[in-house]
Amino acid sequence: MKKLKLKQPENGIARSAEEAFAIAEDIGFPLVIRPSYVLGGQAMRVVHTTEELEEYINTAVRVSGDTPVLLDRYLRGAIEIDADTVSDGKDVSRAIQPVCCRRTPCPIKPCARLSVRV
């Protein structure tokens, strides 16, 4: 991302509750928090306070070295774009997908991803 000079929200990966609180203090609220091991925004939440973060960690997910959580600075009104690639070792297929605008709950569940193949 840095090499391509692409911007992204401040973020961190927490492997313990203590790390999650430290990252939240460093980045600031609001945050998007989600398990690292799920797809499609499952169990994703926007948290606005330390109390909401603590509730999420204590009730929604198990945070450990094997199951970290991802924390990103929440950007109001932002649109997330995914760029995925698939290769068979010779040919590469790329898909660029506009994703839901990171609102919780997602207004498009299940996410109706529109793909553009390049």
The CATH number for 27's domain is 3.30.1490.20
DSSP 89: S
Split into its structural domains, the chain has a count of: 2
> Please, where are the H alpha helices in the chain?
17-27, 50-59
Per-residue pLDDT of 72-111, as tens digits, reads 999 887 766 666 677 788 887 766 555 554 444 444 444 4
In a domain, 2, yes or no: no
Whether 41 and 90 map to the same domain: the answer is: no
According to DSSP, the residues that pair with 92 across neighbouring strands are 87
Whether 53 and 100 map to the same domain: the answer is: no
**pTM, two decimal places:** 0.66
Share of the chain above pLDDT 90, in %: 28
Whether 34 and 63 map to the same domain: the answer is: yes
Residue-number span of the structural domain to which 54 is assigned: 11-73
